């Protein structure tokens, strides 16, 4: 079974749909649960207890978790000194703590079987140090640092841990970003274009495949950085 956070829309939904189309078993995680092409369970990624309860439920149901993909995230495009406290907390709690809590809760289910794949999501903004995204960059830089260290902790259990760090991707997240801002980012990528969700899905698909069994502790930039 593959768990995917942020499964109700955007990249999370695109990844779920790609995996389902390949015949993979998927459970989506989002604030509101529903049933569609794949089941979506209610899960607030910022809740430590919520993650623990999910892991307990999966264990009791006999679900074998093969992979965890932490896609859920929020962005804040604002100067650090003008970012309200509640926004700062929301970004850090969702992006960084949400990923850490997910790994803490779900990795033990993989450790028992001595196999598994964890994919956390970062952003090209970390590499570029983008102006106006300081808080967002801080949260995702934390995800990258955690993932590198966590990969070493999980290595003896046959579990790989990597980050996918996309540039601008055509999802709802770009609706509040001006074309000028997008152009500034794209001009600093190696491949100077805005990619669609399929490019990210391709990268995730590769990391889930047996051919990626020797890749861990890495940050893969979709678009190049």
Cβ 146 vs Cβ 155: under 8 Å: no
Q: Cα 66 to the chain's mean position, in Å?
A: 16
Gap between the Cα atoms of 98 and 94, Å rounded: 5
Among 136, 160, 189, 223, which one carries the catalytic annotation? 136
Gap between the Cα atoms of 77 and 135, Å rounded: 8
Gap between the Cα atoms of 102 and 109, Å rounded: 11
Cβ partners under 8 Å of residue 53, min gap 6: none
Side-chain half-sphere exposure of 5, counting CA atoms within 13 A: 29
136 is known as an active-site residue = yes
Is 21 exposed, middle or buried, given 0-12, 13-18 or 19+ CB atoms closer than 10 A? exposed
Catalytic amino acids? 136
């Amino acid at each position: 079974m593959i768990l995917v956070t942020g499964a109700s829309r955007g990249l999370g939904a695109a990844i779920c749909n790609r995996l389902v189309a390949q015949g993979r078993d998927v459970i989506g995680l989002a604030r509101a649960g529903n049933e569609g092409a794949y089941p979506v369970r209610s899960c607030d990624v910022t809740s430590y207890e919520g993650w623990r309860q999910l892991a307990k439920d999966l264990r009791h149901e006999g679900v074998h978790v093969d992979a965890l993909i932490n896609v859920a995230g929020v962005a804040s495009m604002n100067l650090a000194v003008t970012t309200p406290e509640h926004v700062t907390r929301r970004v850090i709690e969702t992006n960084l703590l949400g990923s850490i809590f997910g790994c803490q809760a779900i990795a033990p289910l993989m450790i028992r079987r001595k196999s598994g794949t964890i994919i956390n999501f970062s952003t090209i903004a970390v590499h570029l140090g983008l102006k106006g995204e300081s808080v967002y960059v801080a949260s995702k830089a934390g995800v990258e640092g955690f993932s590198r260290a966590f990969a070493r902790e999980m290595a003896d259990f046959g579990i790989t841990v990597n980050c996918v760090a996309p540039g601008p991707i055509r999802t709802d997240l770009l609706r509040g970003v001006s074309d000028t801002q997008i152009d500034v980012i794209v001009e600093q990528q190696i491949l100077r274009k805005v990619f669609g969700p399929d490019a990210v899905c391709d990268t995730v698909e590769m990391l889930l495949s047996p051919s990626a069994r020797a890749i861990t502790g890495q940050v893969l930039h979709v678009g190049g950085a």
